[in-house]
Structure 1
């Protein structure tokens, strides 16, 4: 049997506003992406995932969609998108698009019609509810971005639900017509040649039908910067009633050849939810936030996350990411400045060795750091609302440095980019690293090439091995091939007896001695 292309794939996330600007307006666009697809293909990834580029008023920079089947002019046209897909496919890259189906923009025609009357065709396409007798919202649910998850609408004389911004009203996915409309959107893009979907915040798509109050969260030593943090989301997300719609999504993609979907499953302890969404007949894979917001990368974290997905019969397929457009850059979270270069190499080795699909975020191959964007230049609505307690998402969304030369660093030919460049990013530019055979960019290519060449890394079982404190070690095995993977996640030297294993990729390792952040992948006899 032929293994599905996506199983064990490496997928590269592109945040289009910040990848490459072809028209000089300071905002990245589809033609800019197309121009730089050779760089992406050179990494050895299997696919790209492109964050939203649809028509949007940009209250949440594309995650508030006003037209699911058109391109926002800031990004280009449908013809530009078709050219992007054609170029990607010519380079051997699959194309995954973001589908934001839990909510729309408040400027979407569906919402305009829904709020106009309680009796119209789309009156029930969003989650509306009457006020309590005292005029307060229907329940205590809180928005992810802070404050009540309900906004009063005088035209309807009701509250509407929004899990995120008030400009992002929640769709009523319980309604069969809403499901049909969303599946028609999916069919539109599949017919255009996309290879699958990343389903944004899909487990937020349906709350409890009775709108019961959420209970308070138990005491915790973690800081609570938003009202959202004070509740356990028992009734506002992760509802099993969502799963029949998930099965309809899978039935849609199964009608096309070699398509693939990945669910973003937000929340804390979400392994059970991810397994439910990836059970037979549902989605191919899902990823959670095991690593994305962790303040430390430890062997215990790796063990706990991977052990939840041992490959039992009927179990879905996991996916992992260390960075994305919502999470702070990993090298800034997990290593001191003096250690970042060697840590970045160890991190890439670990990511390439994990069982499941892996996601790289644009600039991760360069070791880009989190940027401290000053308040007056913030664009992220969550960061502005919760300043200064919430770490800005903008700090991970700053433009890609393609060249060393200022001011546009190859990202834009205009006078100014939509977000500032990191002060240390020019030295990490693609052209600078291309010219340095010892750069992280070349190291990333080596790690991904090894993953692609060895089925044990893409498909194999994973078995953890006892290791000294600060070191994570495991074996990957498939079809007679056995590989040893050892990464020192500490800045301090350590020792691990690799025995007669033959090194395939090694950094900071001499025999049994591992430097701080030393890493090894070796073939076992």
Structure 2
């Protein structure tokens, strides 16, 4: 490791009870991070092997996508045993080793808890579907057909079609907001809530520091099973599902985000507080995402933070768009806490999605490090990886297979991490990878970029170090945001530290004014501009300007 890398392994900057506030969280998709045994699938020991690299980035925590026992119809988001590790990923002993190794590297560990639904192969569901009067008969959402045999209402699945599946044993429909192999648990049943809290406690006892709560606003449903109303065409905002999916045609007011959900989240928060743990909730909603973020994170009784979708949109966020989002967030969630991301395991990588040049890619990363909230980075993002092209015959994602070719699924962002360009598998596996390694990715491998001081990888390290060194950026207030043409401007302030931030979010030069006062240029290592002799800021294409107010 070079000297810059060693500096970044320092102890956390927020060691207290609010360690999560302003944290940088690195998402690991375990199937695709590092294979330790040559079977072509990443695993827990592979993750542990690569933790020195993760720590070298300067992140505060890792979020590990599901590794629980599963038939893998949705690659681990269909859990058949919450209390064990799927053999393809290793064992509970491997997980315990991973926790110890992460903590030795001063990394917190979030695990992905999928509580809204299970696999249809879970013993709970097998018992529930066996009859209408067994002890777990009410653990899932069952309903009779309409008199004509059709589903109970018009609710739709995110993966396409009705969210109701007929079961020939109970002669009833069961609810599935996702795949039909993912039946929804019934959170109106007290025993379900109690058991899921026991699941969370099991992993807290094993040493996890927090949870990423998958589809957290899907937990409860309307007990009256009322139809969702249609959504006018002009109000459709396809974020949670592609535009070709009619799921986006409904206003989902009855199949998710019900007020009863808050009761369970308070119980979850009480449990997490016992262990000093934190949770980031994934709120999936096309119309009310930021409002729900506010409802779920304001105060100290619910979630610590919520995963916001606004910067996961298909279009590159302009200065005006970010200003609009921030103003809306301040109105509806000013006392809440967001967690921002540009990429994850469910959307095309943002460099491709937004058609960014390398300069644009670097500028957006610097901007993210200056926004108020916590941050999620997705594995390979720090290498500038583009979306991989996957041939239909190599496709694994059931979502893509169902919607092809209008929607090609999520495999393009899930291909294996590239560590070394010396072999066609990128150092990921000695066996045949579960998804092909993109040839476009090999020349961006970690080993190649480590030896290139100008590489994107080092820009990520510098930007994260910059954030860690300034409390105003980690947890301070954000004020005075505005769009001056293509330039986004705002202030960050905390405990006497005030930082002015400006970003030219375009490929053309732009000019703006410095705020009144005496300012010192900072962030030079990130390409930050300083004021010209005329006192104005002349920003090149995709250039930031960062300045610290001088103390009197």
Q: How does the TM-score come out when normalised to structure 1? A: 0.96
CA offset digits 1:371-395 (Å, max 9, x no partner): 1211111111111101111242111
Matched residues in 1 for 2:379 and 2:402: separation?
26
2:290 to 266, 271, 274: 271
Aligned to 1:518: 543
Q: Is the 8 A contact 1:335 1:343 kept in 2?
A: no
Structure 1 unmatched runs, 5+: none
Matched residues in 2 for 1:30 and 1:61: separation?
15
Q: Is the 8 A contact 1:368 1:428 kept in 2?
A: yes
Deviates more, 1:212-221 or 1:505-514: 505-514
Aligned runs of 1:192-271 on 2, under 5 Å? 192-220=206-234, 224-256=243-275, 258-269=276-287, 270-271=289-290
Matched residues in 2 for 1:463 and 1:346: separation?
20
Aligned to 1:106: 120
Distance 1:445 1:305, change over 3 A: same
1:20 to 18, 24, 34: 34
Matched, 1:67 2:81: yes
Deviates more, 1:286-295 or 1:134-143: 286-295
Q: Is the 8 A contact 1:29 1:74 kept in 2?
A: yes
Aligned runs of 1:311-390 on 2, under 5 Å? 315-336=335-356, 339=357, 341-390=358-407
Q: Is the 8 A contact 1:310 1:462 kept in 2?
A: no
CA offset digits 1:174-225 (Å, max 9, x no partner): 1000001100000000000000101000101111110000111111376731
Aligned runs of 1:110-259 on 2, under 5 Å? 110-220=124-234, 224-256=243-275, 258-259=276-277
Matched residues in 2 for 1:400 and 1:487: separation?
30
Q: SS state of the match for residue 11, structure 1? A: strand
Q: SS state of the match for residue 428, structure 1? A: coil
TM-superposed CA distance for 1:232, in Å, is 1.1
Superposed CA RMSD in Å reads 1.7
CA offset digits 1:28-77 (Å, max 9, x no partner): 11011000011111111110000000000000000000000100011000
Matched residues in 2 for 1:359 and 1:130: separation?
42
Aligned to 2:312: 292
Moved runs in structure 1, 4+ residues, more than 4 A?
311-314
TM-superposed CA distance for 1:2, in Å, is 5.1
Matched, 1:50 2:69: no
Aligned length: 520
Q: SS state of the match for residue 145, structure 2? A: coil
Aligned to 1:402: 419
Q: SS state of the match for residue 473, structure 1? A: strand
Matched residues in 1 for 2:231 and 2:219: separation?
21
